[in-house]
Structure 1
C-alpha cells in the first residue's frame, strides 16, 4: 500500500466535502455519485454515511439508487482509525476495479468514537493525513463528507489540511509530526518493569489478569505487547501500568522507529521486519503512540 510518490503525483484522488444542511449534502453527494456511475472500468460507487443522509440519497435518486452501494457508517467505522484503514484496504482489494478504481463517499461517525475526545479526533485526523500515503498507488476516488452540525469547526479546519483539494493542504508527514509533538504523560512512579530484552507473554498476561482484564482480553493485550516488541527488536525497558480501566505498556526499543507509517501498512504473510507486530497492536489497542525522544524511541500501547 505504501508508495514513495507524494499525493501530487498519486492516482489516489482524496477530496473533502463540507456541508451544514441536508440540501448542501445532496448538492455535493449527487454529482459525486453521478461521476462514479459514469466512470469506466469501475464498479458502482459506494456511499458510507449517516442513515439519514442515505435516506436523502435514496429519495433523490429514486430507482437509480439501486445501482449504488449504501452503507450506514456505523457499520463501517466500528473501531479505531487503524481499524478504518484496514477496513478500507480490505474492501478495495475485494471490490474495487482494476488499480483500485471505485468512487467512495465516506462520512466518519463524528458523533461516535471519532468525536468523543480531542485525543480520538486527533487520531482520525492522522488517519486522514496518512491515507494520502497509504493509498497513494491506488486509482481510488474518495469524497470525505464532514457535517458541520456534528463534526464542529475545529475538526473541519484540521481535516482541510489533510485533503489535497483544499487550499490549506499540508504534507501528511508534517501533520503526523505535529500530532507526535504533543507529549505523552510520563509513566507513573508505580509502573511495573518487565525484565528481559523482550517481554514474556506469560508475564504480561498474568499482570493484566491481576489488573482486572478478562483472560481472553489479557491474552490479546499480551500478544500485542509481545508482537510489537518482536517487530521493534531488542527493548531496553518494558513498563506496565493501568490508566483507569485501560492497561498500558511502554516499550523502549534499542533502535529508533523511523517509519511514520509503521504499523499502518497491512503486512504480507511472508514479510518479516519492523511494522509487522505494530500492525497487530494498532488493530487491537485503543492507541499506539510512537514518540522519538532525546533518549530514544518510546512505543506506548493502550488497551481498553
Structure 2
C-alpha cells in the first residue's frame, strides 16, 4: 500500500548530475527558508565543494545560512544520523520544528561504501517520514548521480513523498528486512547466558580494545533486556567487526524499535535498543513465526 507521509514533515528530494543543477535546486530552497516567518536559520549539510558553491551563489544571504560539511554531520550509522537530526531540531529549530534542512549524504564515505550501507541509508530515509512526522520541518535531500548512482537514486525515490515512486515506510522497511541474514560462521561461539563477564571476555577475544569491548557489552546487554528472555547467544568476528546474535521468542515487529530518541539527552544503557543502535554499526532484525533473530555488529 502506498500512502502519503503523516503529519507536517515536508520531505523533498533533489536529483542532479552537475554543479549548476545542484545550485539551481539548493539556492531557492534556502531562500525559501530565509523568507519563512518565524523559522530558525536554514541549514545546508553538504560536501565542502558544494558549500563553496552555495557561498558564491547566495552572496550576502550566505550569512543567514548555517553551512556544515557533511562529513561532520554524518559520522556513523543511520541511527546516529537520526540522533544528530533530532538533537539539532531540539536545540535550534523554531517551535514545532520549523526549519529548512538541505541534506547531502556522504556517498563516498560510510553511507555509500557498500550495498549494505546503502540499504541502511534508504531505511533511514523511509523511517524519517515517521520519526519526524510531527515536526513542521522542511528537508531537501540532495542526491548527486555522479557519486550516488542510479540504483541508489531509484531506491531513494521510494522513500520521498512527491516523487511518484513513494511507498509506505512500513512496506519499504519490511522489504529491506526480508532478505535472510548470512549464516553464522562455523566457529561462532555459544554463550549461555549472555552475562557481562562472558560478553566482555569474548569481545576482547575478538580484538576490541577494553573500552570498546565494554561499550559493545553494554550494547548487547541493553538489547537483551529490551528483547526479553534470550534463548541463544552467538558471538564471532574480529575487531572492529565483532558480532553478537541474540535469539528470542519475542518478535520485534515495530520497524521504529531503537530509532525513536528517548526524552533524556544523555546516552545510557537503560535506553534499550536506542542505546544499542547508537553504539553498533549494524543492528539487523529478522522476525519469524517463532520469535526474532537480532544481530549486532560493533564496527
Residue 254 of structure 1 corresponds to 249
Distance 1:243 1:294, change over 3 A: farther
Residue 120 of structure 1 corresponds to 117
Q: Deviations over 1:76-107 (max 9, x none)?
A: 01111110000000000000001000000000
Matched, 1:278 2:270: no
Q: Distance in 2 between matches of 1:232 and 1:245?
A: 24
Residue 145 of structure 1 corresponds to 142
Higher mean displacement: 142-151 or 206-215: 206-215
Q: Distance in 1 between matches of 2:261 and 2:191?
A: 29
Q: Deviations over 1:16-67 (max 9, x none)?
A: 0001111101111111011101111101111001111111111111111101
- Find the partner of 1:233 among 228, 232, 241: 228
Q: Distance in 2 between matches of 1:180 and 1:243?
A: 25
Q: Distance in 1 between matches of 2:283 and 2:15?
A: 29
Q: Deviations over 1:155-208 (max 9, x none)?
A: 000000000021010001111011101111112232211113xx2111100111
Residue 195 of structure 2 corresponds to 200
Q: Give the alignment of 1:96-135 within 5 angstroms.
A: 96-135=93-132
CA contact (8 A) 2:6 2:130 kept: no
Residue 3 of structure 1 corresponds to none
Q: Distance in 1 between matches of 2:79 and 2:206?
A: 26
Q: CA deviation at 1:68?
A: 0.7
Q: Give the alignment of 1:29-178 within 5 angstroms.
A: 29-178=26-175
Q: Any stretches of 5+ residues in structure 1 without a counterpart?
A: 1-5
Q: Distance in 2 between matches of 1:63 and 1:81?
A: 34
Q: Distance in 2 between matches of 1:126 and 1:287?
A: 12
Residue 300 of structure 1 corresponds to 295
SS in 2 for 1:61: helix
Q: CA deviation at 1:214?
A: 0.7
TM-score computed with the length of structure 2 as normaliser: 0.95
TM-score computed with the length of structure 1 as normaliser: 0.93
Q: CA deviation at 1:236?
A: 1.0
Q: Distance in 2 between matches of 1:19 and 1:223?
A: 42
Q: Deviations over 1:144-163 (max 9, x none)?
A: 00001110101000000000
Residue 187 of structure 1 corresponds to 184
User: Please, what is the CA RMSD of the aligned residues?
Assistant: 1.5
Q: Any stretches of 5+ residues in structure 2 without a counterpart?
A: none
